[in-house]
Structure 1
Amino acid sequence: MTVTAFRPRPEPHEVAARVTATAAELLEVLWGRASTAPASASQLRVMLILEHHEGINLRTLADSLASTPPSTSRLCDRLQAAGFVERVVSPTDRREVRLYLSGRGRSFLSDLRTRRERALQAVLDQMPAAHRIALVQGLEAFCDAAAARIHDEDAGVPRGRTA
């Protein structure tokens, strides 16, 4: 009897989780080569949130970042100074400031995405066509499941149940 007979085989979802985590780490390395300068990783995260949540207020942004409003405000100060973020006083409450991604911020994200896609394309070009097709199918299913989970968590649906 071999030693491996005593070890339980990992479940397919465990293997998928491990491979996906490795892929995410490799993407970080590849994308790290497509510099995010002049924005830091934290600033980039703010910009991505603002892109999807136009007009978010500082407190909600801080909650999204699991940060404090003063730290988030300083991040936004630097982004505003770089011309990536605009602050607008709320029309309903003058004490509240709404945050928007500026045209320059949108251009920066577009350029960054283009550079990242080129880096990915170089890797994908090395894969056989059948594997690329399987990857697309798997990633589409993954994105659907992840989006559903995020939606459910945002709606307060308990784990293991769907809305």
Structure 2
Amino acid sequence: MRRSFDQRAREIGVTRPQWQVLSVLSRREGIKQAELAEILEVEPITAGRMIDRMQDAGLVERRADPADRRAWRLFLTPQGQNRVGELGPLSEEISDLALTGVSDADQAQLYATLEIIRLNLSGKPAADDNAGK
């Protein structure tokens, strides 16, 4: 699944990490660079370098935070928005392909289980609703 997405994304002109940034910014435009690093689970310096390259490519822009002169807010450029428009359907297509034949109920259970795993690994264990199962 990952290889298929990577290959198609490269044809559009972005890497998977860049797609992750574009995807986050399409939902949370104007977030601080440090928040982006936390969401992506990378070090702030790593996020900064990624944003540098994406800014050079014309996909994102940094704007000074009016409330904190030390912080930068991140925004998609029109070119970045176009990439999201191209990659969004690709992401959905790959997900649909991966889930072919999986019932809606099983998909819901899968997503719920993955969320519990994500919370457990983030240090914020999920409530133990399934004790004794």
Q: 2:108 aligns with which of 140, 146, 150?
A: 140
Q: Normalising by structure 1, what TM-score?
A: 0.59
What residue in structure 2 maps to residue 46 of structure 1?
21
CA distance in 1, matches of 2:84, 2:40: 19
Amino acid at match of 1:34: R
CA distance in 1, matches of 2:88, 2:3: 15
Structure 2: runs of 5 or more not aligned: none
CA distance in 2, matches of 1:65, 1:86: 18
SS at match of 2:52: helix
Judge conservation of contact 2:31–2:74 (CA < 8 Å) in 1: yes
Higher relative contact order (CA 8 A, sep 6+): 2
Once superposed, which parts of structure 1, at least 4 consecutive aligned residues long, lie more than 6 Å away?
A: 151-154
What residue in structure 2 maps to residue 109 of structure 1?
84
**Which has the greater radius of gyration?**
1
Judge conservation of contact 2:9–2:16 (CA < 8 Å) in 1: no
TM-superposed CA distance for 1:71, in Å, is 2.7
TM-superposed CA distance for 1:145, in Å, is 4.2
CA distance in 2, matches of 1:40, 1:55: 22
Q: CA RMSD in A?
A: 3.3
Q: Normalising by structure 2, what TM-score?
A: 0.69
C-alpha offsets along residues 108-161 of structure 1, whole Å, 9 cap, x if unaligned?
A: 12212323545666x58xxxxxx73x433322332244346657887x743453
Judge conservation of contact 2:9–2:15 (CA < 8 Å) in 1: no
Query: How many residues are treated as equivalent by the alignment?
Result: 128
Amino acid at match of 1:136: D
